[in-house]
Structure 1
Amino acid sequence: MNKIALVIGGCRGIGRAISLELSNQGFYTYATSRNPMHVKAMNGVTPIYLDLTNQESIDNAFAEIEKNHGKLDILVNNAGMSIPKPFEDVNATELESVFRTNVFGPFLCTQRAFPMLKRGGGRIINITSILTKRALPQNSIYTASKLALKGFGDVLSEEWFKYKILTTNLVLGATYTDLWKDVHDVSPKDMLNVQDVSRAAAFIAASPLDVRIDEMMLTPPKGIV
């Protein structure tokens, strides 16, 4: 039986690359998006609607996977957003939006995944950022949200290993996606590409459950950008 993987935010950019690579490696892969326009067929990947900011939407998505398979082997918490600006200019709506997507959503998805992962053991992969290691200006809210996700993953590594549920924080340096295409003075050659990330995620996903990989860090040669 194929192992079942779910990539949150798996229909674009880094998430899409991870979804396709997991499918190529033999996982039955679901990829989520909260934008109905992005929920469309990919080769070997099943798209599914999921709004991280809505508990009912989260429950419905997981219920569908549970009905179809009765279990989950891999959860990738990839969805995220950033509003880069000086902290003094950040308003409450922006702050809440980033944390609902980058923190509360992954927390709720992981909690909902727990009984499905517990049935046979599995892995959680949290996509975090090099900014949790090295601070950069105008990224206070994004960095704080990714530090929350990192801390969450660190605790789950100690809390859930007894169920054979292992957590990895996959720490990424700057990775080129469409979000960077209109940014001046940024070259794709100085950044990771999404295939670099997808290969690392697939390696973690395929590793046997008697091996912990608490953290893996990928950076381009320059370290960040």
Structure 2
Amino acid sequence: MEKKVALVVGGLRGIGKAVSCKLAQSGFITYATSRANVQEISEDILIPLQLDLTCEKDIHKVFEMLDEKHGKLDVLVNNAGISSPGPFENADSNEWDSLFQTNVFGIFSCTQKAFPLLKEQGGRIINISSITTKKPLPQNAIYTASKHALNGLGETLAEEWYPHKVLTTNILLGATYTDLWKGVDAFSPEDMLDVKEVGRIVSFIASTPLSVRIDELILTPPKGVL
């Protein structure tokens, strides 16, 4: 049986790496991207790719390679994103331009370029979004706005692309423990989602037959939004 191919955008750190590793363990040929220099990264089960979402040339190069090497794509995971917490009145246009270039415009470009490969045999797009789009948190206005844009894209493409057997899922994540939380007072791993559980859920969706739509999932720790 021909192996399925997955691309995890932002797949070499934190949540993205847990997702990439679980997909690879589940039998997917898994490409994981980072804007850092991946030549210094050694992974046994992942194929690292350098991809700066603010660089259209990088994006084109990645999908051109996938087309030449595989001629298809089975799963696209849009995980990459940056945050810029703080009072909105103190934000400047450079700050929100940078955030939207990564969280929105770069992801939009990846999704558009993935479509010809996804529709070859049908496939899934899995967007890693945020619970803040349901339960807003103060001082996260720009980040939350960017995730609303991602949700809107996913919801619309779920209707626009299902005739091509290209299905879209928005995953709205609650507080998830990564290295970024180490040493931060009042935040304990026990009170947050484990990245491995997120990886398990993404792998489950990726492996689900295309006869089933999973438009949205909300994942939170037992305590809910922290």
Same fold (TM over 0.5): yes
| Mapped partners of 1:117, 1:139: distance in 2 | 33
Q: Which consecutive residues of structure 2, in runs of 5 or more, have no partner in the other structure?
A: none
Query: Is 1:143 paired with 2:144?
Result: yes
For 1:85, the equivalent position in structure 2 comes to 86
Give the alignment of 1:24-173 within 5 angstroms: 24-36=25-37, 40-173=41-174
Secondary structure of residue in 2 paired with 1:35: coil
Amino acid corresponding to residue 204 of structure 2 in structure 1: F
Identity of aligned residues (%): 58
Amino acid corresponding to residue 211 of structure 1 in structure 2: V
Secondary structure of residue in 1 paired with 2:121: coil
Task: After TM superposition, give the deviation of residue 64 of structure 1 in Å.
Answer: 1.1
- Cα–Cα, structure 1 residues 40 and 116, in superposed 2: closer, same or farther, change >3 Å? same
Task: After TM superposition, give the deviation of residue 182 of structure 1 in Å.
Answer: 3.3
> Contact 1:34–1:52 (CA<8 Å) still a contact in 2?
yes
For 1:193, the equivalent position in structure 2 comes to 194
Task: After TM superposition, give the deviation of residue 176 of structure 1 in Å.
Answer: 0.5
Of 158-167 and 42-51, deviating more is 42-51
> Contact 1:8–1:76 (CA<8 Å) still a contact in 2?
yes
Report the number of matched residues: 225
Amino acid corresponding to residue 97 of structure 1 in structure 2: S
Task: After TM superposition, give the deviation of residue 38 of structure 1 in Å.
Answer: 7.9
> Contact 2:38–2:49 (CA<8 Å) still a contact in 1?
no
* RMSD (CA atoms): 1.0
Secondary structure of residue in 2 paired with 1:201: helix
> Contact 2:174–2:225 (CA<8 Å) still a contact in 1?
yes
Query: TM-score, normalized by length of structure 2?
Result: 0.97
Amino acid corresponding to residue 116 of structure 2 in structure 1: P
Of 163-172 and 175-184, deviating more is 175-184
Secondary structure of residue in 2 paired with 1:85: coil
Segments ≥4 residues shifted beyond 3 Å = none
Query: TM-score, normalized by length of structure 1?
Result: 0.98
